[in-house]
Every structure is written in C-alpha cells, then in structure tokens.
Structure 1
Amino acid sequence: MKDTLRLEWQLYQLALRFLTCLPLARNLQESDDLRVRANKYFPLVGALLGVVGAVTFWMMAQWLPVSAALILALVMGLMITGGFFEEGLAKSIEGMHRGEGQTQILQMMAGPGLGLFGAISVALVVAMKLILLSHMDLGTAGAAMILAPVIAMMAVVHVIATTPYLHGEGLRAAAPYITASGYRFALGSMAAIWLCFAFYVGFLPAACAWAGGTICAQLFRSRLVGKLRGYNSDCLGAVMLFAETGSYLGLSLWL
C-alpha cells in the first residue's frame, strides 16, 4: 500500500513538474513510462491551480475591488505556471496565423519572442476571463475559478489521447500518450469536482460551464488538426486557456 501511494504521489509531482514551475524534489525519478502515466493527474493539477487562484481572489476581495482581486489571482497563477499556458497560446496562434504548412508553422512556434498576433490573443483571452469573472458574485466566481482549470486540463488530456503528437520544439517535452485507465481516472476526477460545483451552483449552470469549455477546446483542436495535423507542447497551453475561458463563457451565458 505504501509503495502504491508513493508511486501515485510521484506521478502527481511529475504532472506538477510539467505544468508548473513549483519547486519539487530534485531526485524525483522520471522516465517516459512514468511521464505518460502522470498525465492522468492533469485535472487534479488544474484543481490545485484553481484553488490557489480562488483563495487569492477571495482573500484580496475582502479589501480590494473585485477587478483588482482578480488581477492578483491571475498574477498568482502566472507565478505558479511560469506563463507556460500563455506562452503556448501566443506561439500557437502566431505560428498558425503566419505560417504556411506544418514545417513552417512549427519553426515559427519554436522561434524566440512573441509576435503581434500571439500577444493580442493572450491579451484578449486574459481580458475575457477578467470580464466574465468580474460579473459573477464572489462565491460563484471563486467556485468557477476552481472548476474551469479542471475542465481545461481534461481537455488537454483528451487532446493528448486523440490527436497525433508532432515532435517539434515546444516549451517543454510533452508525454504524448495516455493509457486507457489513465484517461478514465482523469475523466473521473474531473467529474467528481464537477459534481461538487453542480451541487453548489446548480446542475444546469455546471453543465453550461462544462459544455463551454469542451466546445472551445474541440474547436481549437479541429483547427490544430486542419493546420498542423497534430499538436506539440505549445498547443497544449492554448487548449488549456481556450477551454478555461470557454467554461467561464458557458457559465456566464447561463447566469
């Protein structure tokens, strides 16, 4: 039992290593097999990111305007992830907008710096999140900040499971597979957190949040398949942010 728990904790830490820049044990064992198995914990990493953001937002909202509290929560998230998702979004949009053909797009995505279209896309996504959350009451906004990253990370898992992996240079090396049992675990953990949210805000609003995130992620995935015929690590950051923002949008449309 101890060995099993130790292994699962190790897998969770590997998922944290890929998705965040949190300080972790230097002697953490790593292999291709372990990294693939760690993908099942992506939704629970999303839950951790969401809890940190929601707690920061709730605490700051006691003394500051809601918009300022939301910005500070966003800054906290950027500090934890190192801007992994935002940079991935910027590089993906820039490459797919300006590049022609898979090879050129991947070369542009691997290049240094952020282009105009990438920077604008990040700014619009961040602005959309801030606007949508600022129009929710504190309790709903805080709960949504926990649920949305979980839905978004499940979208990332789905892309990994269903989309060809391109061996281009990304921000970090993605583990491009997930086992069937790992996919079921990720889906089950997302469903459990979704049910908690549904009991808090209602099943229809929760369903709208899930549908919004899923639709936005699938639309971007179809774009990836059409332009790139696959994904790389940068694309996962874009999937995450589109799904997260889509969850807020779906919830706001119901509310």
Structure 2
Amino acid sequence: MAKASDNLTKEQTKYGAFKYQLNLFFLAVSFFTRIPVPKSTRYSAYLLNCANRYFSLVGLFLGLVLASVYLVLGQIFPVDVAIIITMIISVLLTGAFHEDGLADMADGIGGALEVSRRLEIMKDSRLGTYGAITLMLALVLKFQLLVNIAHVGNIELITTLVLASSLSRAFAASLISTLPYVSEVSSSKSKPLANKQTVSDLLMLFAIGLIPLLLFSWLVSVALLCVLMFFQLGFSRWLKSRIGGFTGDCLGAAQQINELLIYLVVLAFLY
C-alpha cells in the first residue's frame, strides 16, 4: 500500500493532479472501448491498474452516447429497428469486450470440471457451445427488454440506458476488491486490473456509477441496489467455488449480467 501511495504521489507531483486523473480516464477509455484517445496519453501497468476507478465513468459516457444515438434513430426508424442499431453501435464502441467475456466464461465453466482446464478454455479465442448459447440468449433478452421499456416511453429508455451502462460497470469492477485474481497474468486481457483496489478507487467507482439513480424514484433505486448486491454476493461465491476467484472474462460477464438485471428491474416497475 505504501509503495502504491508513493507511486501515486510521484505521478501527481510530476504531471499535476488534474492531468494525472484525466490521463487515467483516457486509459480507461482506451482499455474498455475502441474510442480513440489522445496520443499523449501515458501508459504503464501501474497507471492502467489505477484507471479502474473510472470504469463506471466510461460506462456513463457510453450510456449518454447510446441514449443520444437512440433518440436520433427513434425519429427515423421503428422502435425495434432503432434499438437493434443502437445495440450494434454499442458493440462497435466496446469491441464486444464484455460480450466476449460472458461467452468465454460460459465456455470455460460450462465446458470442464477441473479449475485449470476451465481457465485454459477461457483463454481460448474460439467460441464453444456454452458461450454461443449464453451470448445468443443474453442478446435476445437485452433486445426484448429494451423494446418493452421503449414502448413505455423514450424518456424511460434513455435514462435506463445511461443507468445500466454506468451502474453495471461499477458493480462488475468492484469484484476486483473482493476476489483474488486467478488467471495467468502474462496472458490475460485484465492483467493490469488484477491488483486489489484501494478504498478511494472503490468509492470513486460507485460515486460515479450511482449518479444516474437520481433520475429514478427511491423505490426503484432501492430495488435495483438490493438485486445487484444480492447477485454480487451470489456471483462472487459461485466464482470462488468454480475457479477460485475472478478473471478478466468474469468481469465482462458480470457487467453483462448486471446490465440485464437492471433492465429487468426497471421494466418490472414500469409494468
């Protein structure tokens, strides 16, 4: 902890506190999306590890972009067409980063009994039966949920898009602070994110992720947090029992499942 604190102090002293934090945000954007960032953005494993505090801010930004895209498309196309195009743009913006994690986790945990074999399958770039089925069902469910929310109203859909994009990432990234990292660091996509989070990182993650809840009633907010916390507890225990901790793929899977849970809860209250 002292070493991390020393590194932080040196970085902030050298570049200034604001520029340092802005650099971390750009690193988070470059890691979690395909959106270009300034060429002057500094990179190191330590900096990228610190950048996980802005996971939910990246989600907030993506949610605002997708909400804007849907508002424009909704004026041109029917609801279902506008939503499917918005989903395609979402995948293009992130490079299917989280969807890939969901599919890989399903393949790994569903395709083997031994922990070492499960981790080996997760690293395989090929898509298996478990991953294909899981990804297909997740995308179909997401589409249906968004269409039904949109039929209630455009305001309901755009606020839910922003909330789901931000809050799902806050809960997913918080797994770093509660579970040990179990994959081979040298071959992992989440290599720089494998360390424990600091308390300030975790607070920043949720402070940003919770902002969109201000757009919802207290009852919906409480229900959402209860459902997500209950899932987080169960998912953490499940991962611990299946592979002994988390991998980068598990973080992506957690984001996708949390996003679906948010849509489900919101839709339940709308109906």
Q: TM-score, normalised by structure 1?
A: 0.92
Task: Identify which of 65, 85, 91 aligns with 1:78.
Answer: 91
| Structure-2 residue corresponding to 1:29 | 42
Cα displacement (A) at 1:35: 1.8
Q: How does 1:34-183 map to 2 (within 5 A)?
A: 34-136=47-149, 137-168=153-184, 169-176=187-194, 177-183=196-202
Distance 2:76 2:106 in 1: 37
The AA in structure 2 aligned to 1:237 is G
Going from structure 1 to structure 2, the CA distance change for 1:26 and 1:175 (only over 3 Å counts) comes to: same
Cα displacement (A) at 1:172: 4.5
Cα displacement (A) at 1:21: 1.6
After superposition, the C-alpha distances for 1:13-58 in whole angstroms (9 at most, x for unaligned) are 1111221121123342122321222111111111011111111111
Cα displacement (A) at 1:174: 4.2
SS in 2 for 1:135: helix
Distance 1:238 1:174 in 2: 18
SS in 1 for 2:193: coil
| Structure-2 residue corresponding to 1:231 | 246
After superposition, the C-alpha distances for 1:221-253 in whole angstroms (9 at most, x for unaligned) are 322111011111111110100001111111112
Distance 2:236 2:127 in 1: 22
The AA in structure 2 aligned to 1:170 is S
Please list every run of 5 or more consecutive structure 2 residues that lacks an aligned counterpart in the other structure. Answer: 1-11
| Structure-2 residue corresponding to 1:19 | 32
The AA in structure 2 aligned to 1:145 is L
Decide whether the 8 Å contact of 1:152 with 1:244 is kept in 2: yes
2:202 maps to 1:189: no
| Structure-2 residue corresponding to 1:4 | 17
The AA in structure 2 aligned to 1:235 is C
After superposition, the C-alpha distances for 1:148-196 in whole angstroms (9 at most, x for unaligned) are 121111112210111101233334534122111111111212223322x
Going from structure 1 to structure 2, the CA distance change for 1:245 and 1:172 (only over 3 Å counts) comes to: same
Going from structure 1 to structure 2, the CA distance change for 1:213 and 1:149 (only over 3 Å counts) comes to: farther
| Structure-2 residue corresponding to 1:254 | 269
Cα displacement (A) at 1:112: 2.3
Distance 1:149 1:101 in 2: 34
Aligned residue pairs total 251
| Structure-2 residue corresponding to 1:242 | 257
SS in 1 for 2:245: coil
Distance 2:23 2:243 in 1: 33
Distance 1:71 1:187 in 2: 29
Please list every run of 5 or more consecutive structure 1 residues that lacks an aligned counterpart in the other structure. Answer: none
Identity, % of aligned pairs? 26
Distance 2:39 2:23 in 1: 12
Decide whether the 8 Å contact of 2:173 with 2:251 is kept in 1: no
After superposition, the C-alpha distances for 1:60-108 in whole angstroms (9 at most, x for unaligned) are 1112111111111111111111011111100000100011221100110
Cα displacement (A) at 1:111: 1.1
In terms of Rg, which structure is larger? 2
